[in-house]
Amino acid sequence: MDMLKIENDISLKAFNTFGIDVKAAQFLTIQSVDSLKVLRQEGFLAKKMLILGGGSNLLFTNDFQGLVLYNSLKGVEIVGEDKHYIMIKAWGGESWCDFVDYTVKNNWGGLENLSLIPGTVGAAPVQNIGAYGAELKDCLYTLEAFNLETGEIKEFSNSLCAFGYRDSIFKNKEKGEWFVLNVTFCLDKNPNPRITYAPLNNILKNKIDVNIQEISATVKQIRRSKLPDPQELCNAGSFFKNPVLSQEQLNNLQNRRPNLPYYNLGNHQYKISAAWLIEKAGWKGYRNGQVGVNGKQPLVLVNFGGASGSDILNLSKQIQSSLFKKFGINLEREVRVV
Ligand SMILES: Cc1cc2nc3c(=O)[nH]c(=O)nc-3n(C[C@H](O)[C@H](O)[C@H](O)COP(=O)(O)OP(=O)(O)OC[C@H]3O[C@@H](n4cnc5c(N)ncnc54)[C@H](O)[C@@H]3O)c2cc1C
């Protein structure tokens, strides 16, 4: 039982980027797959549980009356390669940013557009992280996950993960059932830079032979100029998802808002900008006490210091109902509320 050093009444303030000061009744750092197996044998995994990575996509509204499993599974290894591709397995507790930097430095293409997204490798498939014209699913080959109830270790192919826009089987149908242990990526030894996404294209379009190091550096530069750093201003990135509309819904909204920006997803589906809607509804830069809406990127809700999770949740609900009244749009949360 040496490996099970369960601590009691641990503050989670330093473990979530919203900086919410709540406590976990029990807290355990997971450093090996064996410790998960032992936990299960000892009956601990029958309790209320939360898997925690970097806490960058979570909003705590209460103390957590259960066991927090803090993922600290480490390691990166090459598991296969040929002339064209390299397969790399990264363990779930690795920092996503550091892992991407490592692949970019080695000129293995695929993850460069996802530079500087906070959090862990293990959480990245949960919501199929995406940014600057790329999504995790584009490069994920397979992952291994531990079933907290049965103890089964299962390999999930890309298609088994049922990836969607900020969605997967782990956030949806089988939420909370699987602990993602490690992820294997298939990366390109002859990178194929993707710069079609407008903000990237504006900066890089006139450059000849753009390499992935330049893409990564440009993504970081744009992100730093647009998004508040959680170390300086507590936030969890985009609080809401961009709404996806049918042709009919889009037409209706365009009749009232001809300037509405949208992106054609194909199949008569259109993604519209939640940030644009929030700004048009007058919320950009709004502040009430210790909570507010970021002045540069209105999709980001912020804690100026000392706010509770409920303060932030209440603000998010006000924004949701205001957008419903104004545009008839239901904004869905991207952040998980605990
Ligand atoms: C400034 C900022 C910018 C951001 N930008 C982006 C962006 O551009 N694109 C984007 O997609 N996201 C973005 N995010 C959101 C966030 O970084 C990602 O969702 C990230 O993958 C969360 O990782 P985490 O380790 O912090 O997960 P956590 O917040 O710890 O957990 C998130 C969820 O995943 C579950 N989970 C965590 N680890 C595991 C595991 N090993 N197995 C199973 N379930 C697990 C948790 O239980 C929880 O439900 C941003 C966040 C911030 C603060």
Task: Decide if 35 is inside a domain.
Answer: yes
* Residue range of the domain that includes 249: 234-337
> Which tens digit of pLDDT belongs to each residue from 227-267?
999 999 999 999 999 999 999 999 999 998 889 999 898 88
CA of 56 to the centre of ligand 1 (A): 5
> Which tens digit of pLDDT belongs to each residue from 209-228?
899 999 999 999 999 999 99
CA of 30 to the centre of ligand 1 (A): 17
CATH number at residue 196: 3.30.465.10
CA of 259 to the centre of ligand 1 (A): 32
Among 335, 311, 289, 286, which residue's Cα sits nearest to residue 22? Answer: 311
CATH number at residue 39: 3.30.43.10
Instruction: Tell whether the model's pLDDT for residue 1 goes beyond 60.
Output: no
> Which tens digit of pLDDT belongs to each residue from 64-82?
999 999 999 999 999 999 9
Sequential DSSP letters for 148-185: TTT--EEEEETGGGT-BTTB-TTTTTTTTTEEEEEEEE
Among 198, 56, 188, which residue's Cα sits nearest to residue 127? Answer: 56
Looking at the CA of residue 124, tell me the nearest atom of ligand 1.
21
Band (35; pLDDT cuts 50, 70, 90): very high
Which is higher by pLDDT, 113 or 205? 113
What's the domain count of the chain?
3
Cα gap 159→128, rounded to integer Å: 12
Which tokens in the block code for residue 289? 């006490």
Task: Decide if 2 is inside a domain.
Answer: no
Q: Which of 48, 56, 58, 161 is the best mutation target for the ligand 1 pocket, counting ligand atoms within 8 Å of the beta carbon and taking the most? A: 56
CA of 54 to the centre of ligand 1 (A): 7
- This prediction's pTM: 0.95
Are 118 and 215 members of one domain? yes
**What integer pLDDT is reported at residue 29 of this predicted model?**
96
Mean pLDDT of the 58-66 span: 97
Which tokens in the block code for residue 226? 């647009």
Looking at the CA of residue 179, tell me the nearest atom of ligand 1.
42
The residue whose CA is least distant from atom 22 of ligand 1 is 119
Mean pLDDT of the 133-148 span: 97
The residue whose CA is least distant from atom 47 of ligand 1 is 51
Looking at the CA of residue 71, tell me the nearest atom of ligand 1.
41
Are 129 and 240 members of one domain? no
**What integer pLDDT is reported at residue 57 of this predicted model?**
97
Q: Is 254 helix (H, G, I), strand (E, B) or coil?
A: helix
Are 107 and 218 members of one domain? yes
Cα gap 192→195, rounded to integer Å: 10
**What integer pLDDT is reported at residue 143 of this predicted model?**
98
What residues does 233 pair with on adjacent strands? none
Are 106 and 200 members of one domain? yes
Active site (annotated) includes residue 155: no
> Could you say which of 144, 166, 223, 308 is catalytic?
166
**What integer pLDDT is reported at residue 3 of this predicted model?**
67
226, 252, 268 — which closes off a domain? 226
The residue whose CA is least distant from atom 37 of ligand 1 is 123
Mean pLDDT of the 99-105 span: 98
**What integer pLDDT is reported at residue 236 of this predicted model?**
98
Active site (annotated) includes residue 334: yes
> Which tens digit of pLDDT belongs to each residue from 276-335?
999 999 999 999 999 999 999 999 999 999 999 999 999 999 999 999 999 999 999 999
The Cβ of residue 11 has, within 10 Å, a number of other Cβ atoms equal to 12
Active site (annotated) includes residue 310: no
CA of 176 to the centre of ligand 1 (A): 14
Site residues for ligand 1, CB cut-off 6 Å:
17, 50-58, 71, 92, 117-120, 122-124, 126-127, 129-131, 170, 178-180, 227, 230, 235-237, 336
Cα gap 103→101, rounded to integer Å: 6
**What integer pLDDT is reported at residue 47 of this predicted model?**
81
Are 22 and 99 members of one domain? no
Are 168 and 195 members of one domain? yes
Band (205; pLDDT cuts 50, 70, 90): confident
Mean pLDDT of the 31-46 span: 90
71, 91, 107 — which closes off a domain? 71
Mean pLDDT of the 166-192 span: 96
Alpha carbons within 13 A on the beta-carbon side of 112: 25
Mean pLDDT of the 95-113 span: 98
Cα gap 34→170, rounded to integer Å: 22
The residue whose CA is least distant from atom 43 of ligand 1 is 179
Instruction: Tell whether the model's pLDDT for residue 15 goes beyond 90.
Output: yes
CA of 38 to the centre of ligand 1 (A): 26
Cα gap 159→72, rounded to integer Å: 26
DSSP 62: S
Instruction: Tell whether the model's pLDDT for residue 22 goes beyond 70.
Output: yes
The residue whose CA is least distant from atom 14 of ligand 1 is 237
Band (208; pLDDT cuts 50, 70, 90): confident
The residue whose CA is least distant from atom 6 of ligand 1 is 117
